């Protein structure tokens, strides 16, 4: 039995619930980073968000009918989010030294897309490893948020989609290696393991829901930046 069959029949957490958990913990994380940098508890709670977002993006790749459109959507929101992100991390409109997490996820999706094509055409695992190496190099030189760590998580959740416990153990190891308080990303593991594979109850139509979750990233960052400007 795969790990993905351990939670089913209405039990566990739906994809919608996981998105809410990731969204709330991300906002808490960024609130701490922007408004309360001296209070580490905000950042600790925030470690939950990124692994869940990566997990959901990988699930999205498996469920999307058009991976190219999925990738383009991530790149569009990456472009939209870049100025708010730059203002948050460096108080400047332009910052070539650090790019927002949408770019990280887009590189991950491009890697999975390439691995899908290779799996279908060549059935060569070494070529899949080459895709991983290329993605790691791109993430490193592009200076995207979470860099190689983020790509490694995409790779783990993609390759071990049906062995979720293994993927989570790998994620925990990668988080420790990444350093700092990122090891507390292990707090996301119970949420990921409780995912039941269901979309869950939604209160908006599919497109509105989809774009609202994407759009809340730059919007909440801009709100926090404006609050910081007002308080200074």
Is the pLDDT assigned to residue 86 strictly greater than 80? yes
Q: Is 13 left (phi over 0), alpha (psi -120 to 50) or beta?
A: beta
Mean pLDDT score across all residues of the chain: 91
What's the whole-number mean pLDDT along residues 136-156? 96
Alpha helices in the chain (DSSP H): 15-35, 40-46, 49-63, 67-90, 101-121, 125-142, 147-159, 164-178, 189-193, 206-231
Is the pLDDT assigned to residue 129 strictly greater than 90? no
Is the pLDDT assigned to residue 11 strictly greater than 60? yes
What is the residue whose two structure tokens read 């269901």? 198
Among residues 30, 17, 43, 24, the alpha carbon closest in space to that of 184 is found at 43
Is the pLDDT assigned to residue 1 strictly greater than 50? no
CB 192, CB 52: distance < 8 Å: yes
Residue 82 CA to residue 101 CA, distance in Å, equals: 9
Q: Out of 12-16, 24-28, 120-124, pick the least confident.
A: 120-124
Q: Give 33-78 pLDDT, tens digit per residue.
A: 999 999 999 999 999 999 999 999 999 999 998 999 999 999 999 9
Domain region containing 32? 3-231
> In this predicted structure, what is the pLDDT of residue 207?
64
> In this predicted structure, what is the pLDDT of residue 200?
73
What's the whole-number mean pLDDT along residues 96-124? 88
Query: What's the pTM value of the predicted model, to 2 decimals?
Result: 0.91
What's the whole-number mean pLDDT along residues 16-45? 96
Q: Give 162-207 pLDDT, tens digit per residue.
A: 999 999 999 999 999 999 999 999 999 999 999 999 887 665 555 6
Neighbouring C-beta atoms of residue 159, cutoff 10 Å = 18
Domain count, the chain: 1
Cα dihedral: 20, 53, 158, 58 (round 10): 70
Is the pLDDT assigned to residue 5 strictly greater than 60? no
């Amino acid at each position: 039995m795969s790990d993905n069959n351990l939670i089913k029949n209405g039990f566990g957490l739906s994809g919608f619930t996981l998105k809410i958990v990731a969204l709330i913990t991300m906002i808490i994380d960024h609130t701490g980073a922007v408004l309360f940098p001296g209070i580490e508890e905000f950042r600790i709670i925030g470690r939950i968000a990124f692994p869940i977002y990566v997990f959901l993006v990988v699930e999205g790749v498996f469920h999307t009918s058009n991976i190219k459109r999925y990738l383009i959507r991530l790149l569009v929101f990456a472009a939209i989010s870049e100025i708010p992100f730059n203002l948050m991390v460096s108080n400047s409109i332009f910052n070539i030294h650090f790019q927002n997490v949408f770019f990280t996820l887009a590189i991950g999706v491009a890697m999975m897309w390439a691995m899908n094509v290779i799996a279908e055409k060549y059935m060569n695992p070494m070529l899949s490893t080459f895709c991983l190496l290329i993605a790691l190099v791109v993430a490193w030189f592009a200076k995207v948020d979470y860099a190689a760590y983020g790509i490694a998580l995409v790779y783990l959740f993609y390759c071990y989609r049906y062995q979720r416990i293994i993927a989570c153990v790998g994620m925990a190891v990668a988080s420790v290696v990444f350093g700092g308080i990122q090891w507390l990303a292990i707090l996301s593991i119970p949420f990921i393991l409780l995912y039941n594979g269901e979309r869950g109850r939604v209160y908006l139509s599919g497109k509105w829901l989809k774009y609202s979750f994407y759009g809340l990233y730059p919007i909440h960052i801009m709100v926090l930046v404006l609050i910081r400007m007002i308080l200074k």
